[in-house]
Structure 1
Amino acid sequence: MITFLIRAAIFVVSAALGLIVADLILPGFYLHWNDWWGFVLAVVIFAVLQSVLAPWLFKITRRHANALIGGIGLVSTFVALLIAVIVPAAGIGIDGPVAWIIGTLIVWLVTALATWLLPPLFIKKRVEERRS
């Protein structure tokens, strides 16, 4: 159970990192920093949708369009961003097609790297704590 919670926290942190990096380096992709609740809501909406959409899209794609499996992460990131932008209370905005395309790539890349690099750090600590 603890490992599941650590993985969930890492996924939420990776989603926040992806959105923050896109906000910092991409014009047209912005987070509303004046409303902290909107930022938290955007991160939670994005993280939950991403975690639900990726496996679902993978299953659908594997069944109907096997050649497109490699793009599942990008598609689920785009759809999660789209829904997060549509929610009025979420503190995220994306203006223009370039910001949508590059923003999707940035968020996908940062979240992928974070979910790959962070778990060994935290889970390794947890294993060492159990051994002692």
Structure 2
Amino acid sequence: MSRLCTEHDPEVFRSLLARIGDKWTLLVIGVLGERPHRFTELADVIPSISRRMLTVTLRALERDGLVQREVFAEVPPRVVYDLTALGRSLQTVVLTLGEWVREHQDVIVAQRRTFDERTAATD
């Protein structure tokens, strides 16, 4: 990992990892990996995301070239979001991470509970 940080621009490296690891990016990429979605569809499928945070996340992903936004000249206008080829390459990583979380979530929740009980007793 240290080699990755020194062989590349550390600020770009850090900012991309922060983007990918934020609260909503992985969920948005996972959902868009299934098929293109309209904004309201994404908002309905991703639990607890506010419209503002969905907008911020989609714009950041579009800026990084991971998501494309297509506006159709209709009345009312229709906007569809989809992964780019670069976004699809990240989707593989997202799916792998999602599988890891599903496989280990019960153990991690139990570990958190044990830690919290142990540290609460010493506080």
TM-score of the two chains, using structure 2 as the length reference: 0.36
Bigger share in strand: 2
Q: Using CA pairs below 8 Å that are at least 6 residues apart, which structure has the higher relative contact order?
A: 1
